[in-house]
Amino acid sequence: MAHWKNKIMADDSVLVKTILFNGSAAGNIVCFEQLGEREVGYWLGKEYWGKGIATQALAEFLKYVDTRPLYAHVAKQNIASRRVLEKCGFTVSGEDSFFSQALGKNVEEYILILDTNGSVNSD
């Protein structure tokens, strides 16, 4: 919580919203700057997975974030999250890897981009 309060929420350039589902907090969604690029990220509680909540939340959130291009990073094994991003108009633009201190290992990831032509896909 200290990190969220002192770093994330204290930065005026960061946009953070709570994802609500049936009146309960299901997760969060955030837009921030990293290395000179605007990025979007989200987290959803496991009990809310597979219900279309993340896709709907991201689609709504993108109506308030007009920065393009907009970037997202997703672990290669996180197929569901990659699909959420693609349904919202993001396309894979590259690959990267980083060392995760939380996991204690390297994580392979896709870099996705939403450009000015990005639109929500209802598939």
Write down the pLDDT at residue 34.
85
Mean local confidence (pLDDT), 88-95: 97
The order of strands in the sheet holding 24-34 is 15-21, 24-34, 37-44, 70-75, 105-114, 91-100
Distance CA 67, CA 77 (A): 27
Mean pLDDT of the chain: 88
Residue 47's pLDDT is what?
97
User: pLDDT of 16-75, one tens digit each?
Assistant: 899 999 999 999 999 998 888 999 999 999 999 999 999 999 999 999 998 999 999 999
Residue 4 has what pLDDT?
A: 53
* 24/31 Cα distance (integer angstroms): 21
User: Rounded to an integer, what distance in angstroms lies between the CA atom of residue 85 and that of residue 100?
Assistant: 22
Return the amino acid letter for 81: S
- The pLDDT tens digits of the residues spanning 96-122 come to 998 888 888 999 999 999 997 655 554
| CA–CA dist 25, 106 (Å, integer) | 31
Answer yes or no: is pLDDT of 94 > 50: yes
Q: Which CATH superfamily is domain 2-114 in?
A: Gcn5-related N-acetyltransferase (GNAT) (3.40.630.30)
